[in-house]
Chains A and B, each alone.
Chain A
Amino acid sequence: MSDLRDLYEEVILDHNRSPRNFLKKPEGTNHQAYGFNPLCGDEFRVYLAVEDGIVKDVGFDGAGCAISTASASLMTEAVKGKSLEQAHALFEDVHKLLTQRAESSDLGKLAVLSGVHAYPMRVKCATLAWHTLQAALENRQGETVTTE
């Protein structure tokens, strides 16, 4: 196992402590999705306000561990302002980073999530918000997304 600090990176701790776009359902929300990992109890709802194919605003609520919360918070920051296609592409990149540790050079701050790969039991925590984002991009309401 690598050092715990690679998992609980400073940026991750910060986003766990004060999650961004949290407890917020943006005005004009027209896309949303629900993610739930029943074994963990981790649970998030992701809200998107999409206008002309662009994610104008984003928010989330729910509860989870430090990894899932920070990942959700980082996701909301990263996806704001992106087109639906760009957001889909971002999901693919992050998914690869988490499951195959395939680092893409332009992930910026999201690169802090790379430490999760060394903890196979925790990958599902980090991917939950991203799979929920993907469902929200497709506006799959009424479906429960899970990564367990």
Chain B
Amino acid sequence: MSIRNDTVARQVTPAYDVARIRHDFPALHQEIHGKPLVYLDNGASAQKPRAVIDAISEFYAHDYANVHRAVHTLGERATQTYEAAREKARHFINARSPEEIIFVRGTTEAINLVAQSYGRNTLRAGDEVILTQMEHHSNIVPWQLLREQTGIVLRVVPIDDSGELILDELEKLFNRRTRLLTLTHLSNALGTINPVHRIIEMAHARNVLVLLDAAQAVPHLSVDMQALDCDFYAFSGHKLYGPSGIGVLYGKKDLLAAMPPYQGGGEMIRYVTFEKTEYADLPCKFEAGTPNIAGAVGLGAAIDYVSGIGLAAIAAHEQDLLAYATDRAAEVAGMRIVGTAREKASILSFELAGIHPHDIGTILDSEGIAIRAGHHCAMPVMRRFGVPATARASFGMYNTRDEIDALIAALHRAREVIR
């Protein structure tokens, strides 16, 4: 990238202090095989800031008890903290009501919840669900399970050579049996940002509901449920710098209210006899059993942390990194970037001619650089691009241009090692 572009990038993010941000993440300050850790596997999971680690630790040290059932002080404190986290999640995606925020284990559970609760009770044999060729397995397999149970039909929107959805093909897939469109907001294997506003309009014009898999999107794109108007939105805490084992299913209240429970147990009931059980109101109806209380608290702290820096500033920083990495990758002999959509974020998926991604992964690790090598749980994408696997560098708020320089140097080194 030229000096001139450099200047432009700096002007876009004048207040972005990456050194200060890095200081907040203890895991970044270590050596791997004698080299400073360069963590470029954020698409798989992000590291955690001290604020998140401390929030979880403080919660267990001082405020922990079960939620929603105790009359004692700690129970009250735990419930308040847990519900405060729900409110933070609501605010973060601008949902109308905290009742629309269901805490789940992660994106995968959120999608399974919609498939098994909404899908199993509403969809009939022959009804159609549209998904896309770029979906993560977690947005394919739950629908295949539902297909086995109900006889629904799955339709797949193809992608073009750049990794963009072919919207004309989507248009053709809608018919009078189409009930639901489920797709990723940001592709984990390609980095493609899908034009979800337009797609939601297309679907809603035909009374088709839309579920967005936002596992990759939430750490990079600011979203507004009321403006976006999607019907379900699913994301995980752990890619948003929060803990694993906690995530959110957003659903429009009228939809959630009409859906039966996903699991039965404590917490989700109002009244139980052996003859009949009345379910609790939203959101508890979908939160059977003792939830991941500390996980929710950690997620709340992560949302506070991310909001404090600002998703717009984070996104601008990451766009600069992606542009810089894309430019510099061209210097490496045999480089082929997989996923060159016009709208992209945070992900550089690639192959190097003659070097298998796992060999790249091992060689980069010896240089302290963590990337992902594999099919990224998106085997249909790999098949589409004719590769068994790719190497993937994925960027987060704390990555730097220096780290990308280290990545490029290590890729040159991989070329030297595998001759």
Pairwise interchain contact B356-A65, C-beta atoms closer than 8 A: yes
Interface of B toward A, CB cutoff 8 Å: 33, 355-359, 362-363, 365-366, 374-375, 382, 388-389, 417-419
* A76 touches B (CB below 8 Å): no
Q: List 14 A-B contacts (CB under 8 A).
A: A1-B33, A1-B365, A1-B366, A4-B363, A7-B362, A8-B417, A13-B418, A41-B374, A41-B389, A43-B388, A63-B388, A64-B356, A65-B357, A66-B418
Contacts of B388 in A (CB 8 A): 40-43, 63
Contacts of B362 in A (CB 8 A): 4, 7, 119, 121-122
User: How far, in whole Å, are A39 and B377 apart by their CA atoms in the complex?
Assistant: 8
Instruction: Return the chain A residue nearest B356 by Cβ.
Output: A65
Beyond A40-B389, A41-B388, A64-B356, is A4–B418 a contact (Cβ under 8 Å)? no
Contacts of A73 in B (CB 8 A): none
User: How far, in whole Å, are A54 and B369 apart by their CA atoms in the complex?
Assistant: 47
Residue-by-residue, is A27-58 near B (CB-CB < 8 Å gives 1, otherwise 0)?
00000000000111111000000000000000
Residue-by-residue, is A107-135 near B (CB-CB < 8 Å gives 1, otherwise 0)?
00000000000010110010000000000
Contacts of B389 in A (CB 8 A): 40-41
Contacts of A64 in B (CB 8 A): 356
Contacts of A66 in B (CB 8 A): 355-356, 359, 418
Pairwise interchain contact B33-A41, C-beta atoms closer than 8 A: no
User: How far, in whole Å, are A52 and B389 apart by their CA atoms in the complex?
Assistant: 41
User: How far, in whole Å, are A16 and B365 apart by their CA atoms in the complex?
Assistant: 20
Instruction: Return the chain B residue nearest A64 by Cβ.
Output: B356
User: How far, in whole Å, are A75 and B1 apart by their CA atoms in the complex?
Assistant: 47
Residue-by-residue, is A12-23 near B (CB-CB < 8 Å gives 1, otherwise 0)?
010011000000
Pairwise interchain contact B382-A8, C-beta atoms closer than 8 A: no
Contacts of B356 in A (CB 8 A): 64-66
User: How far, in whole Å, are A42 and B357 apart by their CA atoms in the complex?
Assistant: 11
Instruction: Return the chain A residue nearest B366 by Cβ.
Output: A4
Contacts of A122 in B (CB 8 A): 358, 362
Q: How far is the CB of A63 from chain B (nearest CB, A)?
A: 6
Q: Determine which residue in A4, A42, A121 has the highest number of CB atoms from chain B within 10 A of its CB, and name it.
A: A4
